[in-house]
Amino acid sequence: MKLTAAQALVRWLAAQHVEIDGATLPLCAGMWAIFGHGNVAGLGEALHAAGGAMPTFRAHNEQAMALAATAFAKASFRRRFMACTTSIGPGATNMVTAAAVAHVNRLPLLLIPGDVFANRRPDPVLQQIEDFGDPTISANDCFRPVSRYWDRITRPEQLLTSLPAALAVLLDPVNCGPATLAFCQDVQAEACDYPEAFFARRVHRIRRQAPDPFELEAAALALRGAKAPLVIAGGGVLYSGASAGLAAFLEATGLPVAETQAGKGALAWDHPLAVGSIGVTGGTAANTLAAEADVVLAIGTRLQDFTTGSRALIGAQRLIQLNVAPFDAQKHDAMPLVADAGAGLEALKAELAQWKAPTAWTARAQELSAAWNARVAAITSAAPGNARPSDAQVLGAVNRFATARTTVLCAAGGLPGELHKLWRASGPGGYHLEYGYSCMGYEIAGGLGAKLAAPDREVVVMVGDGSYLMMNSEIATSVAMGAKLVIVVLDNRGFGCINRLQQGVGGAPFNNLFGDALPMPGIDFAAHARSLGAVSEKVAALADLPAALARARAAAHTAVVVIDTDPTVSTGEGGAWWDVPVPAVSARAEVAAARGRYDAALAGRGDHREG
């Protein structure tokens, strides 16, 4: 078949499908495109000709569209992905941050930035980055460290090997992450005779790896000998579709389970063996149990510092890592159990037949969980305690508004900590947090991606004023596409989370909140959202929020509700130590005091090795 390279890429992508729960769907749900020189002539023409076979979506910002694609993959539990194409210069490099988000979170994302001329005939072209010593380098080399697969297409024939290789990464539970194909703009328009079989319809299935018998036996032996065993559920439980398997495993063994940010919602919050969130943003029940546990079974988690309390909370126990990725399974000197979360849990349940955790330990977990749930209800109540509501009080109102079909979505700042501790997730799909890269600006674009992945769910985006100002243009895209969002903007007039951290390490309030040597005009977020096509309003008080949320739900398209909040208040209960280095020398007495507390915390860690 004589096709241009761009036509071949689009045709091949459209031929890929995936089987999910017995249904067959297009594997690539569409192409986000902001056209410019470098992709409009080649890929632009090919996408137009493809029509509905490869839907094309237009965004307002390249980073935002790649974040939307990342959120789509997360909301699809890594079983489908979207592609993004841009021009060769700032359009391409705008996507680097989103590539890092997908890379850290192990999410499939196909990036197709335009590139320079492979034949170099007109060099240097507009927007070309020139390396004085290496003419093969372009701006797209920036994607190398944040891509799991990277290639530059300098000949049309290279697609025959590069496209399957990229797809293998996007589908692989272990190596999953961004694949970048830097597509030279002259090559996009070149014709080539491709074999017809290359475009045959293919149906893919996600690989589910079974555990090694010896690792399985060792893990079961460690659990049988435990007096205080704890399970930590990570995002791998959701990506494996193993929520029901997790519940069956826990109910058979009586093991309590805590949840990471990515794993929250693997079980409903009120499951009898659920003890809530763990780590720096964790609750009292889970963190108390973690401190007392002698064996920890971590399932599908990278065990990053917010989960482990910078290794002060998790690390001293006997640790079993059930993870599909060997890289993660061996972390923190763990006993590895390399397997898909669902397959591993099923095998472990069979291996532990007739065994149950000590009844006193299970009872203690349930007692602590009940006390924590009562405390959560109090913290998130509408009772006024300050002039402006806390994030927790706003969160509580939104949680009471949510239904079993609501997805709450957030990313960076103070809100993720409050949500992890306090949000009551109804089950898989109800809680969507980007906290691997903690990317400000993810929220609204991510909400759009999540809505496209699950159109039948109500997506509620909770976003601070700082993140809103960083990236908000996809409000207009959501209105144009009919992808309705409910967006709650919490305005604390600056970066409240970092302001609290700044003072917590002894620093003076500086360069974070408006008014702290940082003048800023009053911003009418409701008017701004309205200018982008949304229905919007600002509420004067917490008591007015439920009615405003009800109006937002009834609105025909994306609705924004704005409320002022207190930047100084956060939930004090729960939490664990987080390693934030404090200056060893400072003229401020507050910094010296904070350094003393930091040194004491370091000395109290079991793995502390400093002299």
pLDDT at 211 over 50: yes
Q: What number of CA atoms fall less than 13 Å from residue 130's CA on the CB side?
A: 6
Average pLDDT of the chain to the nearest whole number: 95
Tell me the residue ranges of DSSP E strands in 128-195: 149-153, 178-184, 191-193
Whether 213-373 and 2-204 are alike in CATH topology: the answer is yes
CATH number of 383-564: 3.40.50.970
19 torsion bin: left (phi>0), alpha (psi -120 to 50), beta (else): beta
Dist. CA 486–CA 237, nearest whole Å: 27
pLDDT digits (tens, 9 = 90+) for 296-334: 999 999 999 999 999 999 988 999 999 999 999 999 999
* pLDDT average, residue stretch 71-77: 98
* Sign of the torsion formed by the C-alpha atoms of 48, 51, 53 and 58: positive
* pLDDT recorded at residue 608: 37
pLDDT at 249 over 60: yes
Q: What distance lies between CA 481 and its chain's CA centroid?
A: 23
**Which of 233-242, 248-257, 494-503, 583-592 has the least mean pLDDT?**
494-503
Dist. CA 161–CA 173, nearest whole Å: 21
Per the CB < 8 A criterion, the answer to whether 480 and 556 are in contact is: no
Residues 6 or more apart whose Cβ sits within 8 Å of residue 471? 61, 63, 64, 67, 440, 441, 442, 443, 444, 445
Domain assignments of the chain as residue spans, ordered by start: 2-204, 213-373, 383-564
Please say whether the structural domain 213-373 has been given the CATH code 3.40.50.300: no
The tokens describing 569, both together, are 């208040």
* pLDDT recorded at residue 610: 33
pLDDT digits (tens, 9 = 90+) for 568-593: 889 999 999 899 999 999 999 999 99
526 torsion bin: left (phi>0), alpha (psi -120 to 50), beta (else): alpha
CA-nearest of 570, 573, 575 to 290 is: 575
Per-residue burial over 41-62, b if 16 or more Cβ lie within 10 Å, else e, is: bbbbbbbeebeeebbbbebbbb
Per-residue burial over 404-437, b if 16 or more Cβ lie within 10 Å, else e, is: eebbbbbbbbbbbbbbbbbbbbbebbbbbbbbbb
Q: Which band of pLDDT confidence, cut at 50, 70 and 90, is reported for residue 607?
A: very low
Q: Which band of pLDDT confidence, cut at 50, 70 and 90, is reported for residue 518?
A: low
* pLDDT recorded at residue 496: 80
CA-nearest of 542, 545, 543, 525 to 534 is: 525
pLDDT digits (tens, 9 = 90+) for 214-243: 999 999 999 999 999 999 999 999 999 999
* pLDDT average, residue stretch 472-494: 96
354 torsion bin: left (phi>0), alpha (psi -120 to 50), beta (else): left
Other CB atoms within a 10 A radius of the CB of residue 177 amount to 21
Three-state DSSP state, 337: strand
* pLDDT recorded at residue 581: 93
Dist. CA 402–CA 550, nearest whole Å: 10
Q: What number of CA atoms fall less than 13 Å from residue 492's CA on the CB side?
A: 28
pLDDT digits (tens, 9 = 90+) for 405-415: 999 999 998 99
What torsion, rounded to 10 degrees, do the Cα atoms 268, 273, 278, 282 define? 70
Q: Which string of DSSP letters, residue by residue, matches 379-446?
A: HTS----SSS--HHHHHHHHHHH--TTEEEEE-SSSHHHHHHHH----STTSEEE--SS--TTHHHHH
The tokens describing 108, both together, are 């499939």
CATH number of 2-204: 3.40.50.970
Dist. CA 309–CA 603, nearest whole Å: 14
- Pick the residue with more confidence: 609 or 249? 249
pTM: 0.96
Helices 243-253, 341-351: axis angle to 10 degrees equals 20
